[in-house]
Structure 1
Amino acid sequence: MSRYTLTQLVEATKQVDRGQGFFELETPRTLEVNLAGSVWAKAGSMIAYEGTIKFERERLLEQGIGSMFKKAFTGEGARLMKAEGQGKLYLADNGKRILILQLMNDAIVVNGNDLLAMDTAINHEVKMMRKVAGMLSGGLFNVRCEGTGLVAITAHYEPLTLRVTPGKPVITDPNATVAWSGNLQPELQTDISFKTFVGRGSGESIQMRFEGDGFVIVQPFEEVYMQQQV
């Protein structure tokens, strides 16, 4: 249905409590956080809230993470905020689909641009891939999330999860790579044949190689990250 009376519009698009707990998918592209304390969220992802909630930019955060982000990375995708208070917080990121993950004393590594929110009980560490500086136009950093709690990640369109097994490596485009299991340590490799094309950007000439036993999540979209001067 594409035509509504005002009453029908409100009824068709209204917020609905589904009783799913701390993180709830209000729509496939909108995350509702039922906040009674604090949560980490991607800076700029708040679209609405109800209640009393305060926000702190990453420069004020503990564990030196804010300083680490500032020194190593650029762009909005590299910035976190902490939301504290009580109420309902609604998060979204450029209309991307949202996946809610329940970590159970395990770990996942997420492309920094695809991390939407996480429970403050989750231990997290920002990492830059070796040899990456100057090779890619963006997506230079990853966040390792470990412990027990909820993590919300995003992907353009429908994500695909590929199994990585011993002797059968999986190769991905960094700009299409969303996340991977915490036990994997991808290496960057250069495809010489792609580099020979005149005018070809970094694109597929730089690839991520996953070996071992785990999984990698990719999206059917090559996300290009704009960089700014720090």
Structure 2
Amino acid sequence: MQSPLFGHTENRTDDRYALQNPQMLRVRLDGRSDVLARSGAMVAHTGRVAFTGWTPPGQGRRSGNPLVLELMRCSGEGTVYLANLAQHLHILDLQREKLTVTSPYVLALDSAVRWQVVNIQGGEHIAGVGAYSLELSGSGRVVLMTSGQPLVMRVEPGAYCYADADAVVAWSSQLDVQLQAQSRNTEVWRRRGTATEGWEMAFSGSGYVVVQPSELLPPQRVPLRVPAARPGPR
């Protein structure tokens, strides 16, 4: 059997994290340190690898705190391949830095990376950002996902940077962030397709903002007014 398909063989590397291709992550487990991955993101693996559910300390129903990201622990010896809806993947190396991430865009991270849930005031109205995000800190690898190739915007002191709230993936935690509506009429609450934009995030300070070339539909959790039923003919 011959086909160019068989050219897409395993990426042989000793790196712990490597891209098999732009939409698939290859993680090498050595039996000593585990990797946390988005639940259900495993598409293939080799070796003796175990996948177990994992809940961050202080989160979940019993604690009363929101569970903003469902993770599984990958442990053992072997190679794990991770992906999610063919999204583009990006490996970041945190070096005692802080990064705030819209939680649905996290694919995997080292178990040594610290995190905490931060509240985005007003974010409960935004489908993309949501009411809570993750602040990642410490040292280790983090793998983010974007729908398409992203834009990384540099924020410099004295100048604001604006981005559609439905397209923002991550930003430097030291930035000041404000959430504001671009429109003052009721169309800001509706699904896209109107002539107006919805919500935007304004960033100031010094750092970076990661924006993807895709906007999620605006608020699905916001209650909408349903017109009263008209009386039928008698």
Normalising by the residue count of structure 1, what TM-score does the alignment of the two structures yield? 0.83
Deviations 1:27-62 (A, max 9, x none): 11100110123111111211111112222223xx34
* Aligned counterpart, 2:178: 187
The CA distance in 2 between the partners of 1:39 and 1:225, in whole Å, is 32
Indicate the residue corresponding to 1:13 in structure 2.
8
Q: Could you tell me how far apart the structure 2 residues matched to 1:48 and 1:115 are?
A: 19
Q: 1:83, 1:227 → 2: CA distance?
A: 32
2:129 to 139, 144, 149: 139
1:221 corresponds to which of 195, 214, 226 = 214
Contact 1:138 1:227 in 2 (8 A): no
1:23 aligns to 2:13 (yes or no): no
* Greater RCO (Cα-Cα under 8 Å, separation 6 or more): 1
Matched, 1:64 2:58: yes
Superposed CA RMSD in Å reads: 2.7
Aligned-pair distance for 1:201? 3.3
Residue 160 of structure 1: aligned partner: 151
- Which residue in 2 is equivalent to 1:83? 74
In the alignment, residue 30 of structure 1 is paired with which amino acid? M
Q: What TM-score do the two structures reach when normalised by structure 2? A: 0.81
Percent identity for Structure 1 against Structure 2:
30
- Contact 1:103–1:149 at 8 Å: present in 2 too? yes
Q: C-alpha distance in 2, partners of 1:221/1:112?
A: 16
Higher Cα radius of gyration: 2
Corresponding residue for residue 33 of structure 1: 27
Unaligned runs of 5+ in 1: none
Equivalent pairs counted in the alignment come to: 215
- Whichever structure has more helix as a proportion of its residues is 1
Between the aligned partners of 1:182 and 1:131, the Cα distance in structure 2 is: 18
> Residue type of the partner of 1:35?
L
Residues 98 and 119 of structure 1: CA distance in aligned 2, closer, same or farther (over 3 Å): same
Unaligned runs of 5+ in 2: 222-234
